Each structure stands twice: as C-alpha cells, then as structure tokens.
Structure 1
Amino acid sequence: MSAVVPPIDPEIAAAVDLDSLRIDLTHEFIKERRAAAAAFPTLDDLRGSGAFTIEEHVASTAEGTADVSLLVCRPAGAVGRLPVLYYLHGGGMVMGHARQNLDYVLQLAKEVSAAVVSVEYRLAPEHPHPAALEDCLTALTWVTANALDLGVDPERIVLLGLSGGGALAGGLSLRLRDRLDPRPLGQMLVCPMLDDRNNTPSAAQLAHLGGWNPATNAAAWNHVLGDRCGTPAVPSYAAPARAEDVSGLPPTYLEVGAVEMLRDEVVTFATRIWEAGGDAELHVFPGGFHGFDFFVPTANLSRDARAARLNWLRRTLATPR
C-alpha cells in the first residue's frame, strides 16, 4: 500500500493541526481526558437558548439490569408525540458523556421537530463489552415503554451514533433486528467504528495520521473487547462489520471522511447492505478526517456534511411506517 495520503481539505487544514490531535489511549490519558471533559457543557448551557426542555431520567427494565441515566430533550412548547433521535455519543467507547456534542444534535432535532434521547452508557475499560450495548438496549426499551408519558412516538426512532457511538448504534440495530422489537425507523452512523480488526487499506494508508489513527483505534477496541479483540470470538453486536448477515437493517446513513482510517470499513459496510438488498446512503467527504466538522463547523465541507445528514433525516422521518 502506498504511503501517499489523500489531501486534507485546505480550509480545514488551515484551521487544525492534526498532529496536535494525536492521542494515546492509555488508562492515564483516558482518566485525564474524562476529567477535563466532565464539566462541559452543563445542562444549563444546553438549556440556555430555551429551544429545548431537558430532563434527567434513570432507566431500568428488569431485575439485574443496570440503571442507565439518560437525558430526554423536547422542543419547548411542542405538543403531541414526537419522533426521536436516539443519540449515542462518541469517544471510542472509552471517553465522552451524554452531553458531549449534544448541542449539535439538538440543532438537528430542532430542524426536524424531533425529541432527543441521549444515553449515559458505561465506558470501557472498566466496563467492557457488552456493558455499553446493554445500557443502550435498556434505555431504548425504557423509552418505548414510557413513550406516552415522554410524548414520543416509539414507531419513529432514529438511532444516531458518532464514532464509538456508531459502533453501539450499529450493534444495537443488529440486536434489535434479531429481537424483532422495537424496530428503529433508521440509523445514522457518522464516522462509525465498525471493525476491530484494523486491517483495511485505509488503515494502512493513514497509519501515521494524527488524530484517530490505527494505533488509537486498536487501543480503543482492546479496551472494549480485551483478549477477544481481533479474534473470531468477537460478536457482531460489538463490531458490526463482523455480522455475516446485514439484511433486514433499517434505512442506514453512513458517513466518513476520505482522510481517515475508518474510511474503507464504512464503505464496505454500505456495500454489504446494498448487496443484501438493504437501503443505505453513503457519503465519503473528500479531504475530511475523523470528526472534521466538529473541529471546524464553519468550513464549507463541514456545512456540506451537516446538510447531508439533515436531508437524510428529513426524508427518513417523512417515511410512513
């Protein structure tokens, strides 16, 4: 594989030094990053515009199931049962929290008149797979069971996962397909981690890129999977690319940058959905690295990516069940 790396979008490259984003997912680094991020944004920050009411809830569905904290956000003054963006934050499944990037998700929800549920799932390495996935399932089951009180429509739920949250959304979608209930209306996977094997051409091509690179990715998956990482013992609910059968999935939006190591696993997953007769919309943004639009949201490429997500959401939520 050639060591030549595709160019980063010039507007974004002028604003971000990728080498400064390089991270080493040691236990100490994870601890420090969690502590630094824990206080921001606050719920008062998120409520500041007055566009949404935000309530904290605790979900539990059965004895022996861990209680799961979640945020339920509704457009202020909204009436009736609203569609739901079921949001699973990024952070490689080792960092992050339910408020992370929630301001952006609320912007999306405002555009489509939807509620948002954001899940505080447990993180690795303290809580390896399947803890986070079980939390996501527990919270979703609770939301559907309490849909009337929450004022949401359980038939119009879109799973929305960013990065590590994309792995969880994809795994949850597979598990819901196999359980047959509840069935999401769609899933939006933005720069998702789908494959623990780290063996694609883009992983080799972009091995020395700053930010989320193959070493970072491998460290995150090892924290999540332990000794199973890279072996045949990894279940598809943990790493969706492992699924032998991807038929029966809900309409899927897949997005990745051309200059990120996850590129080829995302493209392959979209191709497999099409081959199985499914509905997938794939966007590979030229010049984009992992999470580029959150670093430079005003860049033209970032605006294009966010417009594509919004357009897909509008079409998907307009689809009758």
Structure 2
Amino acid sequence: MTTTGPALDPELRALLADLPLTSGLDPDTLALLRRLPPTPVDSLPTRRRVERRDITVPAGDGTPIPLSVLSPADPGPAAAPCVYWMHGGGMIMGDRFSQIDIPLEWLDEFGAVVVSVDYRLAPEATGGTLVDDCYRGLLRIAGHAAELGIDPDRIVVAGASAGGGLAAGTALLARDLGGPAIAAQVLIGPMLDHRNASTSSLQHSGAPGVWTHEKNEFGWRAVLGEPPHDAVSAYVSPALADDLSGLPTCYVDTGSAEVFRDEATEYATRIWAAGGQAELHVWAGGFHGFDALYPQARVSASARRTRTDWLTRVLGADRSSCPPSTALPLPATP
C-alpha cells in the first residue's frame, strides 16, 4: 500500500488552490467554523417557484427537531416523490440548509418535495442521538405524507458526507424496526465507518485537505468519545452492520482522491453480496465534497447529472412535467 493517494482532477486542483485547508481540527477551530454565517437559503437559485414550510418533530427526549419542507409552488395533480435530506458536516457542523442545492436539483428536475432535517450535532449530542433524530423525522413525513403532498411509496433518504452515513443508518433502522418503506437511498461520499482505518483514509493523513484522516478522527471522537470504542451501533457506523440484505436500492458515489473512497466502495460491494441492488460511481480525481464545493467543474457536473438520471429512473419520475424557466429566488414561507 502506498501512502500517496490518486492525484486530483486538474480542474478541481486549480479551483481548490485558493481554499485555506488544514489537516486537523480542534475544539477552537470548530467553534470558529460554527460561527461562520450559514448560506442564506433565500438566495439559492432554483428554476421553479418553491414554497417553504417549517415543522418540528419531538426527539426521544422531547427536544424539538426542526424540519424544512420545500415543495414546488405549482405541484402537479399527483402526489410527488420525496427526498428526505441529511446534511453533511462531519456530524459536528452544518444545518438543514447545508448542500441543499443538491436535492433542490431534484425538485427542479421532477417536482420532488425536499424535506431536510436539522439533526442535533456532536459533541453536544452523542451516540445514537443523531441517527435517531433523523429516523424520527422520517416517521413524521411518512405519517403525514398526504398532508405534505408526498407519495409514501416514493420516499428517498439521501445525504452527503456525514449525512450519507446518517441516511444509511436511517435505512437500516427503517428495515429493522418495520418503519416506513423507503424507495431508494442516495449516499454521497458517505461517512460510514468509525474505525477510520481504510487505505483511502490513511492516504489522506498528515496533509491539508477538505476532509482528512485527522478531521475524520475528530468527528468520530466527538460522536463516540475517546477510543477504544466499545459496542458501537451499526446504525451509527453502518459499515459495522452484519447484514445488508433487504435494503432499498442504493446509489453510492465518491471521489477516487478522498478519505471515504474505500468504505463507500465496500458498502456497495456488500450490498451486492447480500443480494441487493446498488449503483457505485468513483469519480476520478474527486476530493471529498467536490461536487458540492465546485459544481461548475466538469467532473462535478457529470457526477450530479449521473446521480439525477439514476434517481429519475428509479422513481419513474417524469422530467417533462417540469417547465424550463429562468432562475428564481427561493422564498421563505413561515
């Protein structure tokens, strides 16, 4: 095994050159990052008019968990597919509007209702709290599908990075608890394995990067406490699941030059081995989060288009019903 990972895509490397990067994280840096202003959701462009509705669901301890429901303002006559979105941020930062432009593309393309959950973050919340917050949000939207204009047979769980791991854990919970039917899962550069010992993780150690071995260790330590970690739940670290059978069809993508490459690839392989269906894409030269940070890059555009094509096919969605138009602001509706 070499400790040098694959080279970055040249276009991505040029774009990344101006981004200040570090190899590690510490509590002070995390506090600074959390104080950065979030992306104002009202400024996100979309080709369709969107209505926003904010609701809450009680967590297991009664804490209200916010959900934002983003729906086409001009819905068709039939109930719409739903994308239940879990944001990235290493389980230690971000909010329900982080990377929201990714699922909003699916609202644009085929009129999906996008529901994004503000699960609690580590280290303030630990263990299974984060995935349980996500699962309770899924129960809420499935139980009120008609009210939200959602087709209960076409609910997709999706997420990027930490959100991809939480989406995988939510799908496992739904399977094991007899929870809502899930039509598909979309895992984008997913954070699946707390052991942080894969070849790709070790190849991204000791050098600055968007998400490195050291940053990954910091994130998992915030969730699980100091190692050694005993009796870690597979719902928290889905790579630990003994059985990956009976899961909804799965789309997994990752970059070849990122820390989660190998755990994402292994997860898809194990779904196939269990008799399930998965589609796997490893984008050459992609670093962690490349398509979210630089959607204008050619490899990013290919990754996002391929993902959307798969989801359209799996859901049997009709893209022709979405009229093309110029970009419109996303209004915030109380």
Separation of aligned partners in 1, 2:205 and 2:46: 41
Q: Any conservation in 1 of the 2:88–2:94 contact (CA below 8 Å)?
A: yes
Moved more, 128-137 or 112-121: 128-137
Could you list the runs of 5+ residues in structure 1 that have no partner in the other structure? Answer: none
Pair 1:31-2:31 in alignment: yes
Pair 1:222-2:206 in alignment: no
Q: Any conservation in 2 of the 1:192–1:266 contact (CA below 8 Å)?
A: yes
CA-CA distance at 1:276 after TM superposition = 0.5
CA-CA distance at 1:37 after TM superposition = 3.4
| Paired amino acid for 1:267 | T
What does 1:113-192 align with in structure 2 at a 5 Å threshold? Answer: 113-192=111-190
Q: Any conservation in 1 of the 2:24–2:212 contact (CA below 8 Å)?
A: no
TM-score, normalization by structure 2 = 0.89
CA-CA distance at 1:206 after TM superposition = 2.4
Could you list the runs of 5+ residues in structure 2 that have no partner in the other structure? Answer: 318-334
Separation of aligned partners in 1, 2:11 and 2:20: 17
The Cα offsets for residues 161-215 of structure 1, whole Å up to 9 and x where unpaired, read as 1000011101111111101220210000000000010111112222234221111
CA-CA distance at 1:270 after TM superposition = 0.8
Question: Percentage identity across aligned positions?
Answer: 40
* 3-state SS in 2 of match to 1:314: helix
Q: Which residue of 2 is the match for residue 100 of structure 1?
A: 98
Separation of aligned partners in 1, 2:48 and 2:35: 28
TM-score, normalization by structure 1 = 0.93
| Paired amino acid for 2:6 | P
The Cα offsets for residues 212-271 of structure 1, whole Å up to 9 and x where unpaired, read as 1111101100101114x5534111000000001111110000011000111111111111
CA-CA distance at 1:46 after TM superposition = 4.0
Separation of aligned partners in 2, 1:201 and 1:28: 29
Q: Which has the higher contact order (CA 8 A, sep 6+)?
A: 2
Separation of aligned partners in 2, 1:65 and 1:187: 27
What does 1:1-321 align with in structure 2 at a 5 Å threshold? Answer: 1-17=1-17, 20-22=20-22, 24-38=24-38, 40-42=39-41, 44-46=42-44, 51-60=49-58, 64-79=61-76, 80-209=78-207, 210-227=209-226, 229=227, 231-318=229-316
Separation of aligned partners in 2, 1:18 and 1:251: 38
| Paired amino acid for 1:81 | A
Q: Any conservation in 1 of the 2:46–2:108 contact (CA below 8 Å)?
A: no
Separation of aligned partners in 2, 1:284 and 1:25: 26
The Cα offsets for residues 144-176 of structure 1, whole Å up to 9 and x where unpaired, read as 111111111122100111000011101111111
Separation of aligned partners in 1, 2:307 and 2:112: 14
Separation of aligned partners in 1, 2:75 and 2:152: 17
Separation of aligned partners in 2, 1:163 and 1:279: 21
